[in-house]
């Protein structure tokens, strides 16, 4: 039995702010229990719901030397869906109202403490993993500490590490002097070939340098981050380590995202009956949001954080032009104030065509996936992206820019070969995007049979976690040897 430990700052069902939590919650459930014993360790946050805290049982506690003090470390344990979860408990570090704060030094301190506590706890909880699988910069010091101070201990010798990059933009950077003091790492670790990058200390870089293998969440993103445009300053290092770098696309949970069994949508449907049933969800959503009720309106859905990364500057540029046409645009999400206000403005200006819902609602997101005809994701960069996978499973065809996971998962429509599961455009250009939206609309209105065949293919595509889990298992086998 091979033992794998996931180290992450968040995970479903205990706590979630983004896609990372879905990965940490779903992947272990889908790894083959006959060959792998997968466990997860994360911080115990004060802001977790009480029902989850009530599931945790005391395991052990001890004191650890950290940041010039003797710090308390508590370890709790819970079992959910057959997976063992451990929680590192320290009220000073994990007591905020939310799991992350804007104070960079606080973040670096608490996650440095977390990484050291993870390794220090292993002998006491009696779990010696063959592989420690670290997720994002918050777990970046685990491979570093393992190399620096734990190798001398027989227990830790031979443990391998994997560093998974979910979004390279976030790296955990601060000045060298402060980080050296907080982490207690010696001077020799803060050189350009280790943790130092552009005069700062960089925790994610440390993880990438010391991990035995590096993964990211799609093949295309794994290639893109070796270039200056997408590499966020680490492209040289990622090129140097390209033999150890691979991309594995995330999956989605088909128990939760399944139009045939989804309790959050008014009219469930499946691949056999979507031609009749899917449109009923459109009528219901038009009524709920006060849009003109018309089955023939081409409805475009957007469920997203409203940030630059997601391509909203392109949408801002062509929105007036788009709204002259026979379309409806339904938006759900929060983010940068200028994009929130932009959508509010267009909702006011084109009231029966645009519905701006500037908040987040899980229920409404499911309704948008089910009701829309197309789903727009014109991202500047997109490591993996999950919304396009969800929309395809609901028979809502994605219109995406060819980047990262969007390029890997959406096959563009080819009218000559009758293939494809969506529409895509290549350049980060507003009018190229508009032309692609118009082309999708043309196929929707004029070539309905082709459109429906595309929906068939999109709903049949398999982006379940089982596919991703098999690829991770291959990597674990390769690494353990």
For residue 349, the SS3 value is: helix
Say what the pLDDT of residue 255 is: 87
Q: Once rounded to an integer, what is the mean pLDDT over residues 199-222?
A: 97
Say what the pLDDT of residue 18 is: 80
pLDDT by residue (tens digit) across 445-466? 999 999 999 999 999 999 999 9
Instruction: Name the percent of the chain lying above pLDDT 90.
Output: 95
Distance CA(252)–CA(389), nearest Å, equals 7
Say what the pLDDT of residue 381 is: 95
Q: Once rounded to an integer, what is the mean pLDDT over residues 394-404?
A: 98
Residue 195 has pLDDT above 90, yes or no: yes
Are the C-beta atoms of residues 36 and 5 closer than 8 Å to each other? no
Q: Once rounded to an integer, what is the mean pLDDT over residues 173-202?
A: 97
Say what the pLDDT of residue 17 is: 85
Token pair, residue 61, equals: 């506690």
Q: Once rounded to an integer, what is the mean pLDDT over residues 431-444?
A: 98
Are the C-beta atoms of residues 269 and 278 closer than 8 Å to each other? yes
Residue 103 has pLDDT above 90, yes or no: yes
Strand order in the sheet with 173-175: 173-175, 200-202, 196-197
Say what the pLDDT of residue 465 is: 94
Based on the number of CB atoms within 10 Å of its own CB, is 228 exposed (0-12), middle (13-18) or buried (19 or more)? exposed
Report how far Cα 466 is from the mean position of its chain's Cα atoms.
17
Distance CA(416)–CA(353), nearest Å, equals 33
Number of C-beta neighbours around residue 55 at 10 A? 15
Task: Show the domains of the chain with their CATH numbers.
Answer: 2-251+466-480 (3.40.50.2000), 274-462 (3.40.50.2000)
Residue 218 has pLDDT above 90, yes or no: yes
For residue 130, the SS3 value is: coil
Say what the pLDDT of residue 56 is: 98
């Amino acid at each position: 039995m091979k033992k794998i430990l996931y180290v992450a700052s968040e995970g479903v069902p205990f706590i979630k702010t983004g896609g990372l939590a879905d990965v940490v919650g779903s992947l272990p459930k889908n790894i083959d229990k006959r060959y792998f014993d997968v466990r997860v360790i994360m911080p115990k946050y004060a802001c977790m719901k009480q029902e989850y805290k009530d599931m945790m049982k005391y395991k052990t506690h001890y004191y650890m030397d950290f940041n010039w003090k003797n710090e308390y470390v508590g370890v709790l344990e819970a079992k959910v869906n057959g997976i063992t979860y451990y929680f590192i408990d320290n009220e000073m570090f994990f007591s905020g109202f939310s799991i992350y704060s804007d104070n960079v030094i606080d973040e670096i301190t608490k996650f440095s403490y977390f990484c050291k506590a993870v390794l220090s706890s292993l002998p006491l909880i009696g779990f010696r993993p063959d592989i420690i699988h670290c997720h994002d910069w918050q777990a970046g010091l685990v491979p570093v500490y393992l190399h620096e101070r734990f190798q001398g201990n027989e227990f830790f010798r031979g443990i391998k590490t994997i560093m998974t990059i979910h979004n390279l933009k976030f790296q955990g950077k601060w000045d060298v002097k402060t980080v050296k003091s907080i982490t207690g790492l010696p001077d020799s670790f803060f050189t350009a070939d280790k943790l130092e990058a552009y005069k700062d200390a960089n925790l994610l870089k440390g993880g990438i340098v010391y991990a035995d293998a590096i993964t990211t969440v799609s093949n295309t993103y794994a290639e893109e981050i070796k270039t200056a445009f997408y590499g966020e300053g680490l492209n040289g290092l990622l090129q140097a380590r390209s033999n150890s770098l691979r991309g594995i696309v995330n999956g989605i949970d088909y128990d939760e995202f399944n139009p045939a069994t989804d309790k959050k949508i008014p009219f469930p449907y499946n691949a056999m009956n979507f031609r009749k049933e899917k449109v009923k969800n459109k009528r219901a959503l038009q009524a709920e949001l006060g849009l003109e009720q018309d089955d023939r309106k081409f409805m475009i859905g957007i469920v997203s954080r409203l940030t630059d990364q997601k391509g909203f500057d392109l949408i801002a540029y062509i929105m007036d032009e788009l709204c002259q046409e026979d379309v409806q645009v339904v938006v759900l999400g929060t983010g940068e104030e200028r994009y929130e206000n932009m959508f509010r403005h267009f909702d006011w200006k084109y009231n029966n065509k645009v519905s701006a819902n500037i908040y987040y609602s899980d229920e409404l997101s499911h309704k948008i996936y089910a009701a829309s005809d197309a789903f727009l994701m014109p991202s500047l960069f997109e490591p993996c992206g999950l919304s396009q996978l969800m929309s395809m499973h609901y028979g809502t065809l994605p219109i995406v820019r060819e980047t990262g996971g969007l390029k890997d998962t959406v096959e563009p429509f080819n009218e000559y070969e009758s293939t494809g599961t969506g529409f895509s455009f290549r350049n980060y250009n507003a009018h190229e995007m508009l032309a692609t939206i118009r082309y999708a609309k043309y196929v929707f209105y004029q070539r309905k049979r082709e459109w429906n065949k595309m929906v068939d293919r999109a709903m049949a595509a398999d982006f379940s976690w089982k596919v991703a889990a098999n690829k991770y298992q291959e990597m674990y086998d390769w690494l353990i040897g």
